[in-house]
Structures are given as C-alpha cells and as structure tokens.
Amino acid sequence: MNIAYAFKKSQDLCRSSLKLIGLKLHERWTPERLQDYQRRRLRALFAHAVRRSPFYRELYQNIKIGPEVQLQELPVITKAMMMDAFDRFVTDTRLKLADLQTHIRDLSCDTYYLGEYRVLTTSGSSGFKGVFVFNRKEWSTLIAGYSRCSLSTGKLPRFPRRLRECSIFTDNPAHLSCRIKISSGTPLVLSKHLNAASSIAFLVAELNAFQPHVLSTYPSMASLLAVEQIEGRLKIHLELVATGGETCTGEMTASIQKAWGIIPFNVYASTEGGAFNIGCPFHRGIHAAEDLTILEVVDRNNRPVPAGRAGSKVLLTNLFNYTQPLIRYEISDMLTLSEERCPCGRPFRLIAGVEGRYDDILYFPDSRGHSVPVHPVHFITALGIIPDIKESRVIHEQDGLVIDVVLRDTGDKTKVVDAIKTNLAASLKIQGIELPETRVLFTDHIERNPETMGKFKLVESGMKKPATGAPP
C-alpha cells in the first residue's frame, strides 16, 4: 500500500472519529438547539458561497440578506444549473469539470484528486450524471455521519470474533456506496464488497463462503437473496440487514424478515448531501441528519409540503460541503416527513417514507384522453401481493405495459398472468384508467444495469413524459 495514502487516510479517519463524538452529542440536543445550530451553519455557508463561488455571487446579487438567511427566499438550484456552470460553481478555481470527469473515468481505488479531494458521481439513473467534490475535512465529516448511521443499528465493531460485513452495491469507487466502504475500512471489521450486477448464483456462492453477520445492499437484492435463503441455496446467519438506494416495499421487508428473522434497517443517503440519515431501533422511520443537512420537502412548485404528506421533491442544503456549496439543491426523491416525534428522543425529524423518485411516475390517458400520473407504488403493490412472483419489473412502452417476471419454483404461469392483469386493472380503474395492452414475459433473471450501479428500477418508462403531465 502507498505509504503517503495510508498516512492521509488514517489522518482522515482520526479526524472523523473526533467529529463522530460531536455528532453523537447532537443526538441529545433539543429541537430548538438544533434549529439554532442550523441557522448559524447556514449563515456561514451562505457567506462562504457568496465570497468564493462566482456562480452564487451572481445568483444572489439582488437578494438582500438581513442578520438571518431566510432559506425559503433563496432560488432553487437544479443539477442542470450546477453542471452547466460547474467551474464557477465550486469554490476552488483548480477544480475544472473536464479534469474531474477524466479523473472519475480513470478511478480504480480511493485516489485523492490534487492530493486533497475525493470526487464522486451519481448513477445517472434519473438523467445525466452529476459530479460532487469533497475536501479531506468534509470527507471526514461524511465518514463520521456514516459511522453514526452504522452505530445506530446497534452493531458495534468487536474483538476477537470480528464483525463480517458484506455490501452488494457497485464496485465503482466513483460512487458513494463503494467509496465510503474503501475509505472508512478498519481492521476491526472484515469487509467484502460485491457487485450487484453479478449473477445471483455467484453472489450466493460468495456469501456462503464469506458467512457475513451484516449485509448491506439494495432492498430488491436483499429480498431476492431472502428467497435464496428460504429455498435453502443460501445458508448465512445475518444479525443485521441494512438496505438503501431504492424503495423498500412492505413485501420486501416481509421476505427479509421471513428469511433471517430481523427487520431491515433502511438507510437513506444521497451523494449530493453526503449525509447518511439515521435508522432507529424504534423503526418508525429514518431520522434526517439535520445537523449536516437541511431537507425541505416541497411540491412541484417548490411550495412546502406539510409532514404526513409526500412531496414531489426535496430541496437539500448541505451544511458541511464548502467546496461545492449546495443551497436549496433540487433532488427528485419523494419523501414524507412524519408528524410525530420519535420516542428515542433524537431532535431530528423522522422521514416516514421514501416513495421512489418523481421521474419514476408513469402517465396514462383516462377515458377523456387526459394524461393521468400514476405513482410506481400502484404497480409495486399490485405485483408484490402475488406470492408466486420472485422478482418483477414494469416497463411502460408506447404500445402498452411489458412486465418481466421471475417465477418462484412452484409458480404457475397462467395463474400469475391472470393475477397480474386482475390486480393492475383494479388498481388503475380507481384512477379512471383502463388497463393498457399488457404483456407478461417470464425470464430466469432480470439483468441489473452496471451503468446505474446495479440499482434496480421496479417501474420504468420507455417513453417521453408529456410536457404538461407533471404529478400534482
């Protein structure tokens, strides 16, 4: 191992351990103290962005700021705005988009850019790819947030019978799920990373050989492996399943619980925020890491959506990334904040649900020819309640729906086709839509796309969305 790299990495990890102590103390704050902290951090971030980023200086030039920054009065930033103006957006003039993209293309491990930065990209599953840069101090904060999230599951590093942890996401270090594991690895935990785009047979063989105590992966992958466990091909004894990156449906949770007798911990993190929100043993939702980010749940017109209702998107303000300040940055995740406070006493609000992405919505004509938006949850539920289906994917094409289905061993094809059409017709009818032409294709497995980090979209549109057909 390169000695200079090893030295820098240990420095970063030491800094993150100190930061972790601070983050754990924040969990004892009152909501009022947290809000006061957010106000001060926002004020500092705003001042830095105006001073060091030509993009923000220009964007905010006509905005009068009093002693307090009123977040809701600031304009929303989109990925397109940020990427178009990238070289003027970041606060270090040495960071140029073209060079960073070359660095990402050639990245094979946890390499520092300019000896200082870690560069990430997003999967691009919802459009073009974003690029995100963190300096060493910011990366230490990111690791501290990740460690806090891991600690909240109750699984602590142990000795001499060390914890064996396997993660199945992507093997590309330009993606957060892979990079965080490489850059935060310690000898106290035996880690293994597998690529979600591998075949199930390969993953089962690797897991049987490694015998992990902890499994972190997409919920669709965890539930697929749960079937392997239930049917006897996979034989591992998990103490913890952590899922993230996709919607975890009730059926997936039930399947995981049946296989290993444990409720999965859902993790919600975004590359943009670089913050890992915190699972809670009370399983009432996920605590937003509000000492690291501010999340505004809004409708499609950026108006606040009250707790208890799903928003169309999230406006994210990252309170610790000063290299690439993100202030009211639009993310298409549809979140619902809980109306309740959690009995665990943390001051952070609970995210009650992460219901897919705004751009997963499909549109169908009703009887009057009007375009009606249909949330992916309708398809997920209609197919999820059919016990003979092991895995499925819905694709909306010009001439109707194409549904790929992997059957369980005991499944009857005719009965499954009938059940799919009956359930979908009933679900769409409630919204005034007639079931379009539906083709069910049976297959041995559904390919995971390495381009999207092996992430699995349960519902996809193969068509352009109508110009006026945004969700309500």
Residues in the site for Zn ion, rule: CB under 5 A?
280, 282, 342, 344
Helix (H) or strand (E) holding 57: helix 54-59
Question: Minimal distance in Å, beta carbon 17 to Zn ion?
Answer: 23
* Nearer of residues 81 and 344 to Zn ion, judged by Cβ: 344
Question: Minimal distance in Å, beta carbon 279 to Zn ion?
Answer: 9
* Nearer of residues 45 and 289 to Zn ion, judged by Cβ: 289
**Nearest CA-CA partner of 348 in 263, 282, 262, 249:** 282
* Nearer of residues 281 and 466 to Zn ion, judged by Cβ: 281
Neighbours of 172 (CB within 10 A): 20
What are residue 12's phi and psi, to 5 degrees? -60, -40
Residue type, 408: R
Question: Minimal distance in Å, beta carbon 214 to Zn ion?
Answer: 20
Contacts of residue 147, Cβ cutoff 8 Å, sequence gap at least 6: 16, 17, 20, 184
- Cα 357 to Cα 83, 360, 401, distances in angstroms: 20, 5, 20
Question: Minimal distance in Å, beta carbon 99 to Zn ion?
Answer: 43
* Nearer of residues 84 and 339 to Zn ion, judged by Cβ: 339
Helix axes 176-184, 136-151, angle to 10 degrees: 90
β partners of residue 459: 394
Q: Are 167 and 181 in contact (CB under 8 A)?
A: yes
* Residue appearing with tokens 């101090």: 137
Question: Minimal distance in Å, beta carbon 464 to Zn ion?
Answer: 42
Within 13 Å, how many C-alpha atoms sit on residue 394's CB side?
26
* Nearer of residues 267 and 459 to Zn ion, judged by Cβ: 267
Q: Are 107 and 173 in contact (CB under 8 A)?
A: yes
- DSSP states along 15-49: HHHHHHHHHHHHTTS-HHHHHHHHHHHHHHHHHHH
* Nearer of residues 283 and 303 to Zn ion, judged by Cβ: 283
Question: Minimal distance in Å, beta carbon 282 to Zn ion?
Answer: 5
Question: Minimal distance in Å, beta carbon 34 to Zn ion?
Answer: 14
* Nearer of residues 281 and 308 to Zn ion, judged by Cβ: 281
